Structure 1
């Protein structure tokens, strides 16, 4: 099994994610269907014999936005410590899981600041840019957002977080003999579509301007790790098997 890993969880469905509106600073809740789907994801992917094993998590990073924080709550990891926010909804029943990882809210993984493009769709952005005499073929990975963040801004903050994860949580455990008693090494990040796709690009050393050829659906989970158990060979884990005991 590839390890240690970073699990990327995009927040569940919102009204704006449904309509294609760019949602950065605006703090809107999950839809009822979004909540149901995240609960189902937690039931399917979280557990001692599942993709995300709560007691193997070393640290958890969550966006400052309530939609990401509620998504984390609905995964129902069984965190033992206090959350750094007031719970946003009904508390789920105990699922018999235990997670001792600390939950940290960080601005480094908040969504891309869309600036003037907040709350509007890509076709609307192109229409506005045409009226302004700008290039019609707008690409956020190349052009960024007027009044918001550029690809260089995003690169700076996700690179900072990647460096912290590798140095603090992954270096102590990667490539060590399995016979050693090692601390947990997996990291969970709950955030947003564009910033998590940018994070994955930078994880494997790609420039944002190259643009990702992959998607992360609302409520979806992605996995990053390393090839050959080598900290210098970061990789995107396209698929992993559940771990089942003898």
Structure 2
């Protein structure tokens, strides 16, 4: 059975500062690049054969660093792997969000059910398009949690930067094999 890893991008300044990124295109910082390199070293002997990123620069750069170190092809960015749209709350930290939206409703946020369907569908499609590959999908934390819920029916906690979940499956039969950090969160 082929494996699929959903990898969260390395750190950005907004991650460091506790700001909600969503679809805002915030690049990796130096810590994020170091995390991506450390992750590549940690998985160098695991037999990955293909990597595909989200279109956001933080995921694309993480994927490029992985592909270069692993010596595997980097596919073009896949628009369906983009992070959840957090609407008006993007760019805010938790305190700002709590003050502005005390009831928890954040205008313009992509519905969780829609994200679960989109994320699970994207992973299924990529898996079906590359059935014989051990696939690294470099994307985003909330996207990963939604994908795992949609595919394997389980909830995973928030992932640190440059960490991953490992899945096995195709079509409708998926299971979560492993989750967690392989690189220093620095």
TM-score (norm 1): 0.65
Cα RMSD over matched residues? Answer: 2.3
Once residues 65 and 41 of structure 1 are traced to their aligned partners in structure 2, the CA distance between those partners, rounded to angstroms, is: 19
Q: Which of the two has higher C-alpha Rg?
A: 1
SS class of match (2:101): helix
Tell me what 2:148 maps to: 200
Aligned to 2:51: 60
User: Is 1:152–2:113 an aligned residue pair?
Assistant: yes
The structure where strand makes up a greater share of residues is 2
Number of residue pairs aligned between Structure 1 and Structure 2: 179
Q: Secondary structure at the match of 1:237?
A: strand
1:28 corresponds to 2:19: no
Matched, 1:44 2:5: no
Q: Distance in 2 between matches of 1:160 and 1:113?
A: 17
The answer as to whether partners of 2:120 and 2:148 remain within 8 angstroms in 1 is no
> Deviation at 1:219?
1.1
The Cα of 1:127 is off from its aligned counterpart by 1.6
Secondary structure, counterpart of 2:167 in structure 1: strand
List alignment gaps of at least 5 residues for structure 2: 180-186
* CA pair 11-115 structure 1, distance change in 2 beyond 3 A: same
* Equivalence for 1:117: 89
Question: Structure 1 residues 98, 70: CA separation in 2 closer, same or farther (over 3 Å shift)?
Answer: closer
Distance 1:213 1:66, change over 3 A: closer
Which residues of 2 match residues 86-235 of structure 1 at below 5 A?
A: 98-99=71-72, 101=73, 103-130=75-102, 135=103, 138=104, 145-170=106-131, 184-205=132-153, 212-226=155-169, 233-235=173-175
Cα separation, 2, equivalents of 1:232 and 1:197:
17
Q: Is the 8 A contact 2:145 2:156 kept in 1?
A: no
Gaps of 5+ in 1: 79-94, 171-183, 207-211, 240-246
Mapped partners of 1:37, 1:162: distance in 2: 24
